[in-house]
Structure 1
């Protein structure tokens, strides 16, 4: 108990050298603890030196009663603390324990709901911003933002069918086994209602915020900001992009961006050449997808995916939910902040719903021989750092280029004898190129109904596999197929 109580102020510990004359000085912390994961206020300890001063033994029981009464009278809804004594080195301290409250938000009564609500952030009690207050209200009523009706949006049966069809298409694209593809069921209006993407009210179908996010029709649609920085800080940009539209498309575009920017080598398996990225790409995709699925959509910020010389950094707006801790996440515990989005993403094979993501990321990084990823809950955001092989970062690119150059001639010679593994998306692009080799990337995208970034990703991949080659300039050249379809 002593080590835990006297290790310094934190998200759930605060010290007071004595009981303040004005109870408001510690009442902010009381409501902040009740609105969060709970905590303890320790009276009789110097918050600067952590020296145990102790409380006056002659009046200590009156002090305990005063603290209990002040908390009961000052807070709304009522908070009932556990107030106990503890003797250390012949000195007695008062420990006030505040449990996480089920009736959030808690606030200081004489300040009112808006001005009197506080939350705990980075070891201090802060006034709750508007979006924090809204989430506390929803949480106290056992409601979720993504399940709430999107009142400004009107939809019809064609809109609903369009979303259902697109979700099934993505689910099939993200499934590799033909038997599993065949087993994917259709999404229907009733399923969307069950998931919370739609609501039914007096026979009328109403879209929720989840529907708006999945179709890109939110009034202020969040985006994913991606960037590459020189060095290990955000001082110098090398490149940056921002992806908008439906959130499931943002996941794929941000993932492709990372693949384009990190180093890639190759290995030979049998007669096949296989691209090998410096980071486990399934884990990279999982990080981005988790950030989108579990972020706080009430907070106005955007997800940021940043690539530094030593790490990939994914930052998601919103602190961890009150019952979630980093320790629990590592052990596989998960609590859904956006259950409707999680249901949709799980169906589309974008995420797993049951908390397996973080343990799998840690395992894959270990198998890659990488430093253990860092999980950080800080200042209103949640961040994961996936570390690169820093000591090799300066030579990886050169080594990759040299390997490619030395194998180009051999690969070209055996192209007609070697079968290159192509995906369905690869085949679709190659078919368009075969029909019209002069098309630009933008024109190919228009032909397929894809984004230009998606086309660029597959073209670059097939160029590295030496399945195609660009002859001439990007505007006046043409595509040459190096393989037979």
Structure 2
């Protein structure tokens, strides 16, 4: 027996005892890894039991060439797997390593983009929906949704300069020493453009989606919902809040919501008393900030931050 952790998390590994007769079942995992964060298909291990069978009597070199040709011929854009041999429990398995693709979306040439663009969800490969397909297309063009022009909105210099001052002030407030404060550079319109908050069409400046998220934020689903439940089910609310407005204010509001509902203890050192939260507060802020920064704003869904109070 072999554990999947030997090769990594299940989201980035797939076991196959052999290549299925219907090659699509094999190829969809290759495509899904290319469209996401990459992964490995391990040929010669049964998925359900994790039993190592190896590739048995097959010539591993010929099989590697056959797999490379199959993937190259069937997938578009072309995928180039890196195939190596490993010995586990005295048996030979093939490790088909797929890196994250640069020219997304990847799909089956015979079935077309709309129906055979697969993505990885936990430990399974699933067809991408229209929203995810659009996101993959933007990624393939090296374009993010946040950096696209917010069509219909005009550039407002006063609003842009106000955002510059706000960003500069937040940076200064986060500094711990005077030396750090002195190192903060002045925020300018040019830097907003460098950060993708503003874009140019010809010679004219226009706000991007990111600019709108950081200022007016009129996007219906760009908000955070926080909830605290009693016990280990979601039956009884103790507290719930919804935060909208610029996303940096949402992050702070969600952070304060969590601090309000976690226990606060104390550590005594001599005559000094230091308050300590039961959870690491820097990790809480980082978790919320990462969730907001990395969510897809193409999604028509609100970011929800939920936690339980167990009594």
What TM-score do the two structures reach when normalised by structure 2?
Answer: 0.81
Residue 188 of structure 1 pairs with residue 191 of structure 2: no
Listed as ranges, the gaps of 5+ residues in structure 2 are none
Residue 204 of structure 1: aligned partner: 204
SS of residue in 2 equivalent to 1:111: coil
Partner of 2:121: 121
Cα distance in 2, alignment partners of residues 176 and 65 from structure 1: 58
Answer yes or no: is the 8 Å Cα contact 1:11–1:121 preserved in 2. Answer: yes
| Cα distance in 2, alignment partners of residues 227 and 123 from structure 1 | 28
Determine which structure has more spread, i.e. the larger CA radius of gyration. 1
User: Which residue in 1 is equivalent to 2:150?
Assistant: 150
Secondary structure of the structure 1 residue equivalent to 2:163: helix
Aligned residues: 310
Q: Which residue does the alignment assign to 2:47? A: 47
Secondary structure (helix, strand or coil) at the match of 1:219 reads coil
Give the corresponding residue for 1:397. Answer: none
Instruction: Provide closer, same or farther for how the CA distance between residues 76 and 260 of structure 1 changes in structure 2, counting only shifts above 3 A.
Output: same
Does residue 262 (structure 1) correspond to residue 262 (structure 2)? The answer is: yes
Q: Compared with structure 1, are the counterparts of its residues 32 and 158 closer, same or farther at alpha carbon in structure 2 (3 Å cutoff)? A: same
Map of 1:133 onto structure 2: 133
Q: Does 1:16 align with 2:16?
A: yes
- 1:256-335 maps to which residues of 2 (within 5 A)? 256-264=256-264, 277-309=277-309
TM-score of the pair, normalised by structure 1: 0.55
Other-structure match for 1:160: 160
5 Å-filtered alignment, 1:62-461, equals: 64-84=64-84, 93-175=93-175, 184-264=184-264, 277-309=277-309
Change (3 A) 1:212 1:72: same
Q: What residue in structure 2 maps to residue 370 of structure 1? A: none
Aligned to 1:401: none
Contact kept? 1:5, 1:13, Cα under 8 Å: no
Corresponding residue for residue 318 of structure 1: none
Q: Is the 8 A contact 1:223 1:242 kept in 2?
A: yes
Structure 1 residue matching 2:150: 3-state secondary structure: coil
In the alignment, the residues of structure 2 paired with residue 234 and residue 156 of structure 1 have an alpha-carbon distance, to the nearest angstrom, of 44
Contact 2:86–2:94 (8 Å) recurs in 1? yes
- Alpha-carbon distance, 1:156 to partner: 2.2
Q: Structure 1 CA distance, aligned partners of 2:144 and 2:81? A: 28
What SS does the aligned partner of 2:101 have? coil
The gaps in structure 1 that reach 5 residues or longer are 311-393, 395-485
SS of the counterpart of 1:40?
strand
- Whether contact under 8 Å (2:76, 2:106) holds in the other structure is yes
Contact residue 221 and residue 302 of structure 2 kept, 8 A: no
Distance 1:210-1:6 versus aligned 2 partners, 3 A rule: closer
State the Cα distance separating 1:199 from its structure 2 match.
1.4
> Which deviations, in whole Å up to 9, do the C-alpha atoms of 1:54-86 show, x marking residues without a partner?
546368776555433321211001122344555
CA RMSD of aligned residues (A): 3.6
Change over 3 Å in CA distance of 1:305–1:78 after alignment to 2 = same
Shift, 1:249, TM fit:
1.0
More helix as a share of residues: 1
Match of 1:30 in 2: 30
Q: Deviations over 1:126-158 (max 9, x none)?
A: 112333333333333333332222223223222
Answer 1 or 2: higher relative contact order, Cα 8 Å, separation at least 6. 2
Give the 3 Å change call, closer, same or farther, for CA 282–48 of structure 1 in structure 2: closer
